């Protein structure tokens, strides 16, 4: 039995994928079909649409569900450690390699390897990944002996992969191997019928989490949510509900919460075409008074999202523009709930 690392998902009993719109009903059908097969899957879709949730659902619905689902974010991998992360290394392979260490592929043996943000995988590693997919064998860094693994790949990206292939950023042969069964998760704009359902689901999650007796959406708040543009999709909706509940709770004396339009600060939506070089800033007079820590957090959230949207939604480029290490950006973005 191979050791589990922090990259292995906790076992999940159920994957709640909310949505009854025609687009989601179709996606659920496709998930069911592909889960039972052993094909590699490429999941596309905008940020926050639920690609990771889809990956978990596919693994859970597959015969591999009794084995691990291992997660690897390709955007958070500095090129120097990427090969060792994927394929492992032996003691003494490089400075700092003080023990033998299995890579994610070995950890995912007989299970599934979820390669998130696959479009960010450096070209040099794309060739190595292709080899493993073709022959099922790999070598730990510093080892001559080959190991055989049986791994199903589920990859996800919010990039236009065909464009990346045309531009020479992604190998065509690897793209074809990965996208044997492509799935596309629609944006919230394309399934507006699901907004209220999702909002209700997140309200219920909040109610349980905060031990409240009821959380209701006022008709005006409901209309606001239904017409908002949601560039951050389901994740943005989830966070908007959480924030609104916290604000409403601070105002309410009982455990009964009614969410009103003023509890939502959807002005965080960046305009479609911001003037080049200008970041969105709210006039200071319109800002709510809160702790410096919370205000800083909100600014980081808005500003990183702004730079990300303006760098073609490429995390590596965002890190370069912000002049911070991609790994640190990845961690910060996760902490802020941007990823
Ligand atoms: N259909 C859904 N039902 C319930 N929750 C959902 C649904 N879709 C997404 N979510 C929730 O929204 C959040 C974002 O989803 P997820 O992390 O899967 O998005 P993603 O497409 O991987 O985003 P990114 O491209 O930024 O990595 C998660 O908390 C997830 O549980
Ligand atoms: Mg994701």
| Over residues 93-119, mean pLDDT | 93
CB-ligand 1 contact for 234 (6 Å cutoff): yes
Taking the C-alpha atoms of residue 146 and residue 142, their distance in angstroms, rounded to an integer, is 11
Ligand nearest the Cα atom of residue 45: 1
Exposed (0-12), middle (13-18) or buried (19+): which is 185, by Cβ within 10 Å?
buried
* Residue to substitute in 19, 26, 31, 49 for testing ligand 1 pocket (most ligand atoms within 8 angstroms of CB): 49
Chain position carrying tokens 């409901």 = 222
Confidence of residue 13 (pLDDT cuts 50, 70, 90): very low
Distance 233 CA to ligand 1 centre (A): 8
Ligand nearest the Cα atom of residue 157: 1
What confidence tens digit (pLDDT) does each residue in 120-179 have? Answer: 998 988 998 999 999 888 889 998 898 999 999 999 999 999 999 999 999 999 999 999
Taking the C-alpha atoms of residue 146 and residue 132, their distance in angstroms, rounded to an integer, is 11
pLDDT: which is higher, 109 or 6: 109
What confidence tens digit (pLDDT) does each residue in 172-207 have? Answer: 999 999 998 999 999 999 999 999 999 999 999 999
What confidence tens digit (pLDDT) does each residue in 37-83 have? Answer: 999 999 999 999 999 999 999 999 999 999 999 999 998 887 778 88
Distance 146 CA to ligand 1 centre (A): 37
pLDDT: which is higher, 128 or 306: 128
Exposed (0-12), middle (13-18) or buried (19+): which is 10, by Cβ within 10 Å?
exposed
**Of 120-129, 264-273, 306-315, the least confident:** 264-273
- What the block records as the tokens of 321 is 């523009």
Residue 8 per-residue DSSP state: B
CB-ligand 1 contact for 119 (6 Å cutoff): no
Taking the C-alpha atoms of residue 107 and residue 126, their distance in angstroms, rounded to an integer, is 19
Q: Which atom in ligand 1 lies closest to the alpha carbon of residue 158? A: 25
Let me know: does 137 contact 103? Beta carbons within 8 Å. Answer: no
Q: What is the pTM of this model?
A: 0.76
Bridge partners, residue 148, by sequence? 137
CB-ligand 1 contact for 171 (6 Å cutoff): no
User: What's the mean per-residue pLDDT of the chain?
Assistant: 86
Q: Using a pLDDT cut of 70, give the percent of the chain over it.
A: 87
For the cut 90, the answer to whether the pLDDT of residue 271 exceeds it is no
Whole-number pLDDT of residue 291? 64
Taking the C-alpha atoms of residue 336 and residue 279, their distance in angstroms, rounded to an integer, is 19
Exposed (0-12), middle (13-18) or buried (19+): which is 131, by Cβ within 10 Å?
middle
Residue 68 per-residue DSSP state: -
Cα dist. 248→217, 223, 226, 241, 244 in Å? 11, 18, 20, 10, 6
CB-ligand 1 contact for 336 (6 Å cutoff): no
CB-ligand 1 contact for 52 (6 Å cutoff): yes
CB-ligand 1 contact for 56 (6 Å cutoff): no
For the cut 60, the answer to whether the pLDDT of residue 304 exceeds it is yes
CB-ligand 1 contact for 268 (6 Å cutoff): no
- What the block records as the tokens of 111 is 């299970």
What is the layout of strands, in order, in the sheet containing 69-73?
Answer: 69-73, 112-116, 152-157, 41-44, 181-184
CB-ligand 1 contact for 88 (6 Å cutoff): no
Torsion region of 92: left, alpha or beta (phi above 0 gives left; psi -120 to 50 gives alpha): left
User: What percent of the chain is helix, strand and coil (3-state, nearest 5)?
Assistant: 50, 10, 40
Let me know: does 198 contact 234? Beta carbons within 8 Å. Answer: yes
Taking the C-alpha atoms of residue 264 and residue 237, their distance in angstroms, rounded to an integer, is 10
**Of 46-55, 82-91, 303-312, the least confident:** 303-312
């Amino acid at each position: 039995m191979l050791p589990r690392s922090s990259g292995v998902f906790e076992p999940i009993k159920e994957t709640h994928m909310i949505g009854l719109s025609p687009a989601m009903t179709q996606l659920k059908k496709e998930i069911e079909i592909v889960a039972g097969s052993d094909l590699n899957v490429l999941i596309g879709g905008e940020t926050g649409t639920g690609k990771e949730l889809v990956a978990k659902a596919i693994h859970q619905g597959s015969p591999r569900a009794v084995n691990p689902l291992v997660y690897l974010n390709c955007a958070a991998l500095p090129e120097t450690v990427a090969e060792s992360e994927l394929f492992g290394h032996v003691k003494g392979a490089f400075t700092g390699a003080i023990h033998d260490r299995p890579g994610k592929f070995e950890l995912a043996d007989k299970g599934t390897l979820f390669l998130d943000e696959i479009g960010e995988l450096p070209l040099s590693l794309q060739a190595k990944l292709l080899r493993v997919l073709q022959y099922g064998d790999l070598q730990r860094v510093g080892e001559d002996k080959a190991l055989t693994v049986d791994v199903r790949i589920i990859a996800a990206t919010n990039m236009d992969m065909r464009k990346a292939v045309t531009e020479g950023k992604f190998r065509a042969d690897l793209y074809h191997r990965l996208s044997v069964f492509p799935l596309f998760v629609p944006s919230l704009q394309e399934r507006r019928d699901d907004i209220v359902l999702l909002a209700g689901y997140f309200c219920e999650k909040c109610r349980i989490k905060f031990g409240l007796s009821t959380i209701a959406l006022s008709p005006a708040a409901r209309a606001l949510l239904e017409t908002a543009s949601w560039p951050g999709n389901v994740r943005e909706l989830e966070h908007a509900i959480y924030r609104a509940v916290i604000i409403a709770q601070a105002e309410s004396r009982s455990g009964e919460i009614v969410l009103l339009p003023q509890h939502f600060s959807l002005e965080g939506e960046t305009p479609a075409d911001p003037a080049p070089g200008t970041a969105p800033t709210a006039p200071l007079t319109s800002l709510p008074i809160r702790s410096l820590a919370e205000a800083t957090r909100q600014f980081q959230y808005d500003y990183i999202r702004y730079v990300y949207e303006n760098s073609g939604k490429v995390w590596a480029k965002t890190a370069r523009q912000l002049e911070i290490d991609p790994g640190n950006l990845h961690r910060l973005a996760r902490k802020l709930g941007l990823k």
